[in-house]
Structure 1
């Protein structure tokens, strides 16, 4: 997929911007096709803690709390869903409030914990950014429920059509290519590359674009990774847009069978370093069972590796208030023995 910002004024340019299939910056690195091997691995993997055996700590959030907040803050809602207040504006990333990350709600990965606030209780949201169209990042129920409350959805190329098909007003959707930026209410949003893939069914593989987000307010610069394998693009993003006061980095759902499109904890920490991040917050864990590792392994390993490398890592409890750039002491809330 081209990273050029070509105008779409001719049919040829339109084709370049909206190809039939998108590819990674290194086209050889893509999602695996060994479906039967993956299914077999799921059923044969031996795990001690695939899901939590105790109630995870969840901090309730109120609309009043959000509206009265005056600092640049981040609230982790679960998995990769994040709610931020930047320059007095409410910004959400990849809102998934459904019980399951699945095309149906009677089958598929079920959440480990409640959300800190319900969709109905949320106040109006200024901007929602979407990283890609997978079910654990683009949730139809959440998008349709939020649509009337959201000022603008910023999405990768062709994701907008999915949302328009759900009834979201076209005027509320802006689609971006890699390296393109949009400024909303004084905050600059730039879609940056990741090494991943897209698709919500059997026939639409890579028909929409995927990416990460650089979000720059007047006081802070934050990075939201979406999903990605480790690649040289992190260093390029760091060189072009860093340093970052806070990086929210995918750390979870990894496996050797799909190592090109999801990072292991040591790679997540290295990505943070490449991005020139000051404080790292691991995301994409602790809400859904999406791989064969124990549910608490991503946080345990990333904390150990970050400590060894002198990287400042924070891991707030679900719904816990975190000021951007704050060095919040890590409490191992995911540790079973500490919870007993």
Structure 2
């Protein structure tokens, strides 16, 4: 298993001998207007991609957890091959992606087997709390399983909530990827995990390595890498937490 942090929630995950592109947000720095009601006025994304587009499209499949701009943008619609295997959370997202010309789109089932024994298990999440969750719409996470790999849980755009706890209890993942930038709009509150949420995940499964993604890349981020590192030290779980910079890889290729 190799996890390559690209930018924001965009990842390249090598798992079970295959390569997955997660939530492609591929525009150049400053392409899109700032999200309103946020702490900063800069245009998005805040930083350039740390790798080439050619590297990102050289994958076996793409997984789009939901269609918010910072997970599926106009550049991704243009540069990704129209026949690439592409997984979505539901029929509505699949139809919208198909309308952009993609012809090999599949809705993830509760459990989907991909290629040679890679099991993709769809999990639930809550993209904020209360009214925020209702406004943000449906999102998913995924559990990756393969007999030659550790179990990986990609939680997606969610706060700490009962569905996340249930996914952890059910699948006992050894590696967990959290979108942990505490992104927020002033009138709505947190949309994804903040430092306290990350700590709750650690308490739920202390043995797992946690990777913090979705940090410092768009103008509504609320938690810096530096602050999360400091908090993890204070709470005593820094040895289990990895906070990669954009472009950094983490290799967990440990066979069962």
Shared fold by TM > 0.5?
yes
Q: C-alpha separation between the residues in 1 aligned to 2:253 and 2:231?
A: 20
Q: Which residue of 2 aligns with 1:268?
A: 198
Q: How does 1:199-210 map to 2 (within 5 A)?
A: 209-210=138-139
Task: Select which of 148, 162, 176 maps to 2:108.
Answer: 176
Note the C-alpha offset of 1:247. Answer: 1.2
How do residues 19-30 of structure 1 correspond to structure 2 at under 5 angstroms?
Answer: none
Deviation at residue 265 of structure 1 after TM alignment = 1.1
Check the 8 A contact 1:248/1:282 in 2, yes or no: yes
Distance 1:225 1:256, change over 3 A: farther
Gap change, CA 1:258 and 1:165, over 3 Å in 2: same
SS at match of 2:121: strand
Where structure 1 has 5 or more consecutive residues not aligned to the other structure, the ranges are 1-71, 198-204, 327-340
Deviations 1:276-297 (A, max 9, x none): 6611111111222114x4xxx4
Which structure features the higher share of strand residues?
2
- CA deviations 1:219-246 (Å, max 9, x no partner) are 121121221122122210011111x222
Contact 1:224 1:248 in 2 (8 A): yes
**8 A contact 2:158–2:193 mirrored in 1:** yes
Which of the two has higher C-alpha Rg? 1
Instruction: Give 1:298 shift.
Output: 2.9
Look up the match of 2:210.
Answer: 280
Q: Distance in 1 between matches of 2:245 and 2:210?
A: 14
Q: CA deviation at 1:190?
A: 1.3
SS in 2 for 1:287: coil
Number of corresponding residues: 235
Counterpart position of 1:335: none
Contact 2:142/2:154 (<8 A) preserved: yes
User: Is there any run of 5+ residues in structure 2 with no aligned partner, and where?
Assistant: 35-42, 129-134
Counterpart among 227, 236, 242 of residue 310 in structure 1:
236
Alignment RMSD (CA, Å): 2.7
Give the distance between the partners of 1:318 and 1:96, measured in 2 at CA.
13
TM-score normalised by structure 2 residue count: 0.81
